[in-house]
């Protein structure tokens, strides 16, 4: 077998580089999906129950923006402007289906035989001023610790998003819009602090952490394995050969995954590192027996 490979080494090398180039092209198109719903198959009963629940009511996946002022809303009335601005901009985020905040939260006013419905923020704050005598309206159980804190110096804007469609680009598209909104907010209201949490940022954070771990570990693995290979093989050429073989295996594996329609998710983000380590370790044993 080895003699046959050596006899046709030119053909083997050409085939290898052709596969490598095709794999590199395919790997560049490999899709990344941070959505944790990829762990459920379309026919999974629990996933179908979730889809039915969201179809009947609404998506439970959310984006939560928290705005914090330097003082409460009565001493810092432009805090109300910041909440209003963010509530309006939240609708521009991809896949947002509803937005909840004190801007839209209803407050009922009874007047004789009529009931007037106004939003909480406009009832408390009018003409750029907020009436401290109406502070109790913002401290109702439906508002406190959900849309505003008891001190009324922090307010949340909660946006629900629809992730029912299986699209690997959804989370990245949403987070791209979110980052733009956050940047614009900080530019528009530099004295206010904005925080971000919720289901979608959590998905993105987990996947980003996995990617960063792989990016940090791969160079370390290459160096450690390179030193080990140099010690066992006793030369730079065989060491470089096996390192290049491991990197080539990663490219081919990622290209093959892309070709068959697989996507990289939070659980498989470290796959390149695992492939590299296993291929180099296995190839070293084979190489030692051959040499």
Same domain, 251 and 187: no
Question: What stretches of the chain adopt beta strand conformation (E)?
Answer: 31-32, 62-68, 96-100, 106-111, 114-119, 125-126, 129-130, 154-161, 193-197, 263-264
In a domain, 162, yes or no: yes
Same domain, 24 and 92: no
145 φ, ψ to 5°?
65, 15
> In the prediction, which pLDDT does 179 show?
94
Which range of residues forms the domain containing residue 111?
61-197
Same domain, 66 and 189: yes
Last residue of a domain, one of 155, 176, 197: 197
List, in sequence order, every residue forming a beta bridge with 66; answer none if it has no partner: 156, 195
Same domain, 119 and 174: yes
> In the prediction, which pLDDT does 128 show?
79
In sequence order, the 6+-apart residues with CB closer than 8 A to the CB of 223 are none
Asked if residue 42 lies in contact with residue 153, where contact means CB atoms within 8 angstroms, the answer is: no
In a domain, 145, yes or no: yes
H/E stretch holding 5 reads helix 2-7
What gap in Å lies between CA 83 and CA 73, rounded to an integer?
10
Last residue of a domain, one of 163, 197, 231: 197
Same domain, 108 and 232: no
> In the prediction, which pLDDT does 221 show?
83
> In the prediction, which pLDDT does 63 show?
92
> In the prediction, which pLDDT does 154 show?
93
In a domain, 284, yes or no: yes
> In the prediction, which pLDDT does 82 show?
93
What gap in Å lies between CA 154 and CA 134, rounded to an integer?
17
In a domain, 203, yes or no: no
Same domain, 160 and 185: yes
Same domain, 265 and 140: no
Digit-coded pLDDT (tens) for 71-82: 988 888 889 999
Same domain, 78 and 181: yes
What gap in Å lies between CA 225 and CA 56, rounded to an integer?
54
Asked if residue 98 lies in contact with residue 57, where contact means CB atoms within 8 angstroms, the answer is: no
When divided into structural domains, the chain yields a total of 2
Q: Band of the pLDDT at 290, cuts 50, 70, 90?
A: low
What gap in Å lies between CA 37 and CA 168, rounded to an integer?
10
> In the prediction, which pLDDT does 17 show?
86
In sequence order, the 6+-apart residues with CB closer than 8 A to the CB of 246 are 225, 275, 276, 277, 279, 280, 283
95-109, 113-127, 204-218, 228-242: which has the highest mean pLDDT? 95-109
- Output the domain CATH number for residue 173: 3.30.70.100
Arithmetic mean of pLDDT, 105-110:
83
In a domain, 44, yes or no: no
Same domain, 142 and 24: no
What gap in Å lies between CA 10 and CA 7, rounded to an integer?
8
In a domain, 85, yes or no: yes
Asked if residue 142 lies in contact with residue 105, where contact means CB atoms within 8 angstroms, the answer is: yes
In a domain, 121, yes or no: yes
Same domain, 91 and 151: yes
Arithmetic mean of pLDDT, 262-278:
84
Same domain, 20 and 137: no
Digit-coded pLDDT (tens) for 184-215: 999 999 999 999 998 888 888 888 887 788 78
Same domain, 97 and 156: yes
CB atoms within 10 A of CB 106: 10
In a domain, 110, yes or no: yes
> In the prediction, which pLDDT does 153 show?
92
The answer to whether residue 61 scores a pLDDT higher than 70 is yes
Q: Which of 41-50, 154-163, 245-254, 276-285 has the lowest mean pLDDT?
A: 41-50
Last residue of a domain, one of 176, 197, 218: 197
Q: Which residue has the higher pLDDT, 246 or 11?
A: 246
């Amino acid at each position: 077998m080895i003699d046959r490979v050596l006899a046709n080494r030119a053909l083997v090398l050409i085939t290898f580089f052709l596969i490598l180039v095709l794999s590199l092209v395919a790997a560049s198109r490999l899709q990344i999906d941070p959505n944790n719903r990829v762990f459920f198959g379309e026919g999974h009963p629990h996933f179908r129950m979730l889809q039915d629940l969201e179809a009947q009511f609404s998506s439970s996946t959310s984006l939560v923006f928290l705005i914090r002022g330097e003082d409460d809303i009565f001493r810092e009335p432009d805090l109300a402007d910041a909440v209003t601005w963010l509530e309006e901009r939240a609708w521009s985020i991809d896949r947002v289906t509803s937005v909840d905040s004190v801007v839209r939260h209803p407050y009922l006013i009874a007047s004789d035989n009529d009931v007037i419905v106004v939003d909480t923020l406009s009832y408390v704050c009018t003409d750029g001023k907020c009436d401290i005598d109406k502070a109790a309206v913002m401290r109702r159980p439906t508002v406190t610790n959900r849309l505003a804190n008891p001190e009324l110096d922090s307010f949340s804007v909660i946006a629900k998003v629809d992730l029912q469609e299986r699209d690997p680009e959804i989370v990245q598209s949403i987070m791209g819009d979110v980052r733009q909104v956050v940047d614009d907010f900080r530019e528009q209201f530099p004295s206010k602090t904005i925080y971000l949490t919720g289901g979608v940022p959590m998905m993105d954070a987990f996947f980003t952490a996995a990617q960063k771990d792989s990016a940090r570990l791969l160079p370390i693995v290459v160096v450690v394995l390179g030193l080990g290979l140099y010690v066992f093989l006793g030369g730079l050429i065989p060491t470089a050969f096996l390192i290049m073989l491991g990197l080539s295996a990663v490219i081919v594996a990622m290209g093959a995954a892309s070709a068959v329609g697989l996507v990289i998710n939070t659980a498989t983000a470290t796959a390149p590192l695992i492939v590299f380590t296993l291929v180099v370790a296995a190839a070293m044993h084979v190489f030692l027996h051959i040499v």
